[in-house]
Structure 1
């Protein structure tokens, strides 16, 4: 049997990301509350951080790398 993939509109995605950012709830908790996979919400959060120019945990942004290189010189 073929697997049905759910499609989420951009407003739903943005709302889910906003809930995580504004409430401080975990991705897993918000995903459970909304009835979606926590990995899906984690991917949306990652894309949101990238769109905002925020570096992933433990990684430097392009600007931070450039400044670090300048300081090392």
Structure 2
């Protein structure tokens, strides 16, 4: 059974791990084992680094684009909450004015 704990690694650690994959001639899995990191995590970091360097497939988002998308989604959620509050206030005051 897996744990819900998600270990955080620094950007520097990730950069160094990616550089080790590039320079060592070892597979991502081998490097991950040596570093005590999940192979899936290192594979994801490596893939994202390639995208950030412009080596990804068409349509794949760079880290910068992902952050912007995250920011826009958060803003859209905030706006949706504001709209809902305004809608409820409109209904409330419409009922009050009928009295």
**TM-score, scaled to structure 2:** 0.53
Question: Which one has a larger percent helix, Structure 1 or Structure 2?
Answer: 2
Question: Could you say what the CA RMSD is over the residues aligned between the two structures, in angstroms?
Answer: 1.7
> CA shift at 1:3, angstroms?
2.5
Which structure is richer in relative contact order (CA contacts within 8 A, separation 6 or more)? 1
Larger Rg: 2
The number of aligned residues is 57
Unaligned runs of 5+ in 1: 63-73
- 1:8-52 superposed Cα distances (whole Å, 9 cap, x missing partner): 000000000000001111000000000010000000001100011
Structure 2: runs of 5 or more not aligned = 60-99
TM-score (normalizing by structure 1): 0.71
